[in-house]
Structure 1
């Protein structure tokens, strides 16, 4: 499952932790992370509970990235992305059919300024040139908050540029399938909704060709965004695959891990 944390405060991170600990997914791609008290809490508590946590911290103040939290044993996976590498995080897990690569992306957002536009353009170009493809026998998922839309998105928004649609199209050319579209060719659903009520399908999951036939589910989970005391401004995206993990970890409930008591002396 990919879940945009929206760089939580410590209090909101506690609530997110309670929610995420109850989710059935084995691997969580958490986006919009930062070097902050809230993300520190999530990393610390998941690690203390026995989860595998991969969190390359953004070094620049105000910068955002991604974290992968897993109930399965993981190995580091080099994504090859060297520009804003904390926004492209990879791990490998083992299954009964071989290794499965999981790559989490948090693509920069932009406005109309040249600086932010070039920053996003450069990151997307780096991903297209560096990320592993989905051809052949590879079992690979790339998921996260891409901050781009599919070219046929309904409604159509004029302010997206060709380079953003090109990034979405790259996945098809590289042997990937849009997991949501593979199972729901005509459905309109959104992971972020603006103040005017307009919806955007920003959060995506793309699977390599070999995994497309093993897709059992791919759907948006709106509860974190729509609940009265909402956890984040994005809906999550959950993906189900008909494969069996072979290296599960013994984990406890991270929400009930006690916080260390500060020493008085």
Structure 2
């Protein structure tokens, strides 16, 4: 059986939207979900509690009030990856788990990179987070391959359309350093060298491929699929304004999922 992962920006959902997101996730077949733009409010807590009650492994770093972050939901037995403990700046935005496969442990990391505007405050914030990410990644490095997923709030060089002037050189450098410094290949671009896809768009003709999956070199040969899931931002009401990104690896997890339905009717109490 392949090992499957999906990342989705949930947009710090209110309760009603969080229930719909939870129900949509519960109908999916992926083994692991990497959710970005999670928050500390009742909507994110509802998702976390529903999956916890259903027997999933839930990794949900502490989110200070109004701060955004990531959450990982795994139907497979997992342990917490050490990278979160190494992250010294806005740590809720980086977390990971380790799952066992027939070829050894696999590290699945989730990242939600801060966005930026023209202000010095937001620019410094994003630059500081990226610097802290590099330090944390290197401090937690070991021999296990990495699959990094999430909303990176950056575009690849040569993005179509180009969006000139919207991203500073340090932002584009972050994308290229994932490969050049950390040995992580853009999984979608590896399988689809010329495809034009967008995961967020203010207008249909002005899309952005913000949501990414990057895989260690040793995982590339096991990469069988990487595709965007656009129905999350279609229909009325939409689940979120981002498309999901689903990744399939020809790896077999050594622990079988033993979980129930996270969307099953139950009396949920919030954290």
Aligned to 2:3: none
1:114 aligned to 2:120? Answer: yes
Worse overlay, 132-141 or 46-55: 132-141
Partner residue in 2 for 1:171 = 178
1:130-183 C-alpha deviation (Å, 9 max, x unpaired): 214999953210110000011111111211000000100111112111000000
Q: Give the Cα–Cα distance (whole angstroms) in 2 for the partners of residues 134 and 96 of structure 1.
A: 22
Distance 2:52 2:204 in 1: 39
Of stretches 192-201 and 76-85 in structure 1, the one that deviates more from structure 2 is 192-201
Map of 1:141 onto structure 2: 147
* Deviation, structure 1 residue 205: 0.3
1:210 to 202, 218, 225: 218
Cα RMSD of the aligned pairs, angstroms, is: 1.9
TM-score normalised to structure 1 length? 0.94
Cα shift readout 1:206-234 (whole Å, capped 9, x = no counterpart): 00011001000001000001123210000
Q: Secondary structure at the match of 2:109?
A: strand
Q: Which aligned runs of 4 or more in structure 1 are off by greater than 3 angstroms? A: 132-138
Asked if residue 57 in structure 1 is aligned to residue 62 in structure 2, the reply is yes
User: Aligned equivalents of 1:249 and 1:186: distance in 2?
Assistant: 36
Matches of residues 1-265 of structure 1 in structure 2 within 5 Å? Answer: 1-59=6-64, 61-79=65-83, 80-132=86-138, 138-157=144-163, 158-173=165-180, 174-195=182-203, 197-260=205-268
Q: 1:96 to 1:178 in 2, by over 3 A?
A: same
Change in CA separation of 1:133 and 1:205 when aligned onto 2, cut-off 3 Å: farther
Between the two proteins, the alignment pairs up a number of residues equal to 261
Question: Unpaired segments of 5 or more residues in structure 1?
Answer: none
**Cα distance 1:136–1:67, how it changes in 2: closer, same or farther (>3 A)?**
closer
Structure 1 position 129, deviation (Å):
2.6
Partners of 2:48 and 2:138 lie apart in 1 by: 27
Cα gap change, 1:108/1:136 in structure 2, threshold over 3 Å: closer, same or farther? closer
What is the DSSP-based 3-state SS (H/G/I as helix, E as strand, rest coil) of the residue aligned with 1:7? Answer: coil
Instruction: For residue 255 of structure 1, give the secondary structure of its aligned residue in structure 2.
Output: coil
Q: Which runs of 5+ in 2 are unaligned?
A: 1-5
SS at match of 1:248: coil
Structure number with greater CO (CA < 8 Å, separation at least 6) is: 2
